[in-house]
């Protein structure tokens, strides 16, 4: 056997690249996860390949596209719903039961450790991972929110003065009904309409911007307010929904996508179920604000060359020169005087865009596409910075976010002489790991899609199951896989001996996709034959 020459080898298509392109073109995941399946009765082992399920196009285009389609499906399903969604939870299935039992055991362990004054960090991590598994298996709701709400160290909840409560904007309050569906209108010809709403909502101005989204005068553009508004955007959005429900008197449902505008401030596209008048919207938007009662960051107490040090014995941060203990988070909150203004007030801008949309109309389809258009991209990748001013604008915003505290636990508080909530060693101002500071998020650390609980009455997992059931019916296959019992499933780690390299995993995916497509094409042909030749007695015989 002669060895191929170097030139011959270079002329061959690059193995991984070529097979990845083919897999992607066939709609298969390009980062498949290898799973070892062991038959618990016989000990026989085989391998399954699961899609990575990334929502980002930069990571896996086919998975991101599937995720986007699923969101679009969810959006369409809930928008013009005319009956209340059924929210009766189904009984947990076997795998859900397994994770729930594990979750309960871990919670008991954690609470015991906390009661004995032990460190619970590791167990909290475990709880978070189990919650993740539970969500992935289709269990709804956030278990941790209900089980670890209080500060475990002190066991007491902070009470705020009533003056600082901000749930009373100048809006009339109407009696609240449980209804989540919109009103029906009857035309003179007797036809009924149930219009819904599409709203685009932006933040206030931080200074005039030009066509390309960059400030006309960068020197006077208010980057600090832009940074703070972006950080507190999720809270402001929540406030808007609460106010709308109070004002309209019914349980308004929404599907919202959060994206950056050209000027890099977050804005929201929101589909509301039911029509809401522009006048009502204007009034509620104008009355909605979110006050941030955090300590002041006016004065920089410790800049980067003289940072507070961690005092191991007392578990506090101390002044590097005097050794004085810094204010704790609670002390800092308590020292906000009753005459002090809030540290920040976030509001929406006065301009908004609202249109009524009818069920099943062309507009409805267009809006759904619009709502899901950017979901497969990171916030910062939605608008590419192509010019120097655009790059400079993005840079200045990131700089403004660098030392801006993103949460009570943010390391940046040390810069202002305050120990962050839950202080621990190793915190360095300017290097907080919070999502808001990362360039790709531009200050917005919340979720990209916000869906109210009673939107479609279904989770993404439910929508995925619906799609699978439809495919199985189309293929005349049993809806549930009879092979799921009696197996042990484990993810194969890269260090394991039987771990397959990417090329090999991709070949499995490609082969599966090809076979699957052929089966689907065959099924389509069968349906077409049946339609043309309805007298065929037994369609499975075809
Ligand atoms: Zn994938
Ligand atoms: Zn932070």
The string of pLDDT tens digits covering residues 470-484 is: 777 766 666 555 555
For ligand 1, the distance from its centroid to the CA atom of residue 14, given in whole angstroms, is 21
pLDDT tens string 290-308: 999 999 999 999 998 889 9
Which residues line ion ligand 2, judged by CB < 5 Å?
Answer: 406, 410, 432, 434
Question: Tokens in use for 430?
Answer: 């300017």
pLDDT at 142: 60
pLDDT tens string 408-425: 999 999 999 999 999 999
Strands 45-50 and 185-186, sheet pairing:
unpaired
For ligand 1, the distance from its centroid to the CA atom of residue 134, given in whole angstroms, is 21
The residue ranking higher by pLDDT, 7 or 314, is 314
For ligand 1, the distance from its centroid to the CA atom of residue 27, given in whole angstroms, is 9
pLDDT at 17: 86
Element (H, E) at 401: helix 388-402
Instruction: Find the farthest-apart pair of alpha carbons in the chain and give their distance in angstroms, rounded.
Output: 94
The answer to whether residue 191 scores a pLDDT higher than 60 is yes
pLDDT at 243: 92
For ligand 1, the distance from its centroid to the CA atom of residue 56, given in whole angstroms, is 9
Q: What is the DSSP letter of 270?
A: E
pTM over 0.75: yes
The answer to whether residue 77 scores a pLDDT higher than 80 is yes
Element (H, E) at 25: helix 15-25
For ligand 1, the distance from its centroid to the CA atom of residue 36, given in whole angstroms, is 18
Q: How far apart are CA 314 and CA 487, in angstroms?
A: 51
pLDDT at 162: 40
| Number of Cβ atoms within 10 Å of the Cβ of 496 | 12
Q: What are phi and psi of 356, to 5 degrees?
A: -80, 140
Which ligand number lies closest to the CA of residue 411?
Answer: 2
pLDDT tens string 11-25: 555 678 889 999 999
- Specify burial of residue 415 (Cβ count, 10 A radius: 0-12, 13-18, 19+): buried
| Bridge partners, 268 (sequence order) | 201, 258
pLDDT at 534: 63
The answer to whether residue 207 scores a pLDDT higher than 90 is yes
Q: How far apart are CA 506 and CA 448, in angstroms?
A: 30
Of the candidates 274, 289, 272, 267, the residue with the CA atom closest to the CA atom of residue 351: 267
For ligand 2, the distance from its centroid to the CA atom of residue 444, given in whole angstroms, is 12
pLDDT tens string 424-441: 999 999 999 999 999 889
pLDDT tens string 517-538: 888 888 888 888 877 776 544 4
Q: How far apart are CA 31 and CA 506, in angstroms?
A: 8
Per-residue pLDDT, averaged over 150-165, amounts to 45
For ligand 1, the distance from its centroid to the CA atom of residue 121, given in whole angstroms, is 31
Question: Tokens in use for 449?
Answer: 């899609």
pLDDT, mean over the chain: 84
Which ligand number lies closest to the CA of residue 432?
Answer: 2
CA angle 412, 416, 418 (to 5 degrees): 85
pLDDT confidence bin for 539, thresholds 50/70/90: very low
For ligand 2, the distance from its centroid to the CA atom of residue 332, given in whole angstroms, is 17
pLDDT tens string 382-396: 888 889 999 999 999
Residue partners of 329: CB distance under 8 A and separation at least 6:
408, 413, 418, 419, 420, 421, 422, 423
pLDDT tens string 92-132: 665 666 667 777 877 888 888 888 777 777 777 777 777 77
For ligand 2, the distance from its centroid to the CA atom of residue 346, given in whole angstroms, is 18
């Amino acid at each position: 056997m002669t060895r191929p020459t170097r030139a011959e080898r270079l002329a061959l298509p690059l193995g991984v690249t070529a097979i990845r392109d083919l897999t992607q073109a066939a709609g298969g995941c390009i980062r498949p996860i290898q799973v070892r399946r062991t038959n618990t009765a016989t000990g026989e082992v085989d391998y399954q390949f699961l899609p990575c399920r990334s929502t980002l196009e930069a990571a896996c285009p086919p998975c991101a596209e599937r995720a986007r389609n699923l969101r679009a499906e969810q959006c369409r399903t809930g928008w013009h719903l005319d009956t209340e969604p059924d929210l009766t939870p189904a009984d947990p299935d076997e795998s859900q039961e397994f994770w729930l039992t594990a979750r309960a055991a871990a919670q008991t362990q954690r609470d015991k450790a906390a009661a004995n004054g032990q460190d619970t960090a590791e167990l909290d991590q475990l709880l978070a991972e189990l919650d993740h598994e539970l969500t992935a298996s289709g269990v709804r709701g956030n278990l941790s929110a209900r089980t670890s709400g209080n500060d475990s160290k002190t066991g007491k909840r902070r009470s705020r003065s009533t003056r600082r409560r901000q749930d009373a904007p100048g809006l009339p309050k109407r009696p609240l009904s449980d209804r989540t569906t919109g009103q029906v209108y009857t035309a003179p010809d007797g036809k009924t309409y149930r219009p819904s709403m599409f709203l685009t909502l932006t933040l206030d101005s931080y200074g005039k911007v030009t066509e390309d989204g960059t400030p006309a005068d960068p020197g006077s553009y208010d980057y600090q307010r832009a940074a703070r508004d972006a950080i507190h955007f999720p809270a402001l959005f929540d406030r808007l929904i609460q106010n709308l429900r109070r004002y309209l008197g019914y349980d308004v449902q929404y599907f919202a996508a959060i994206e950056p505008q050209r000027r890099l401030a977050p804005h929201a596209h929101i589909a509301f179920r039911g029509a809401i008048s522009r006048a009502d919207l204007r009034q509620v938007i104008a009355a909605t604000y979110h006050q941030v009662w955090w300590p002041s960051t006016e004065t920089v107490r410790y800049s980067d060359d003289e940072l507070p040090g961690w005092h191991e014995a007392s578990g506090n941060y101390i002044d590097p020169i005097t050794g004085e203990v810094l204010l704790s988070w609670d002390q800092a909150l308590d020292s906000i005087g009753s005459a002090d203004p809030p540290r920040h007030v976030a509001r929406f801008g006065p301009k908004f865009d609202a249109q009524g949309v009818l069920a099943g109309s062309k507009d409805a389809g267009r809006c759904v596409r619009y709502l899901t258009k950017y979901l497969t991209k990171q916030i910062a990748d939605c608008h590419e910075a192509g010019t120097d001013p655009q790059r400079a604008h993005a840079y200045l915003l990131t700089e403004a976010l660098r030392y801006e505290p993103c949460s009570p636990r943010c390391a940046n508080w040390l810069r202002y002489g305050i120990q962050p909530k839950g202080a621990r060693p190793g915190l360095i101002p300017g290097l907080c790991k919070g999502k808001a500071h990362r360039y790709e998020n531009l200050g917005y650390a919340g979720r990209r899609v916000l869906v109210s609980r009673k939107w479609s009455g279904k989770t993404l997992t439910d929508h995925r199951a619906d799609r699978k059931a439809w495919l199985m019916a189309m293929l005349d296959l049993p809806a549930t896989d009879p092979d799921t019992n009696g197996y042990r499933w484990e993810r194969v780690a890269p260090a394991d001996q039987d771990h397959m390299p990417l090329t090999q995993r991709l070949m499995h995916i490609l082969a599966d996709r090809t076979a699957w497509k052929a089966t689907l094409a065959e099924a389509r042909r069968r349906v077409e034959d049946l339609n043309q030749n309805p007298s065929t007695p037994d369609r499975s015989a075809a």
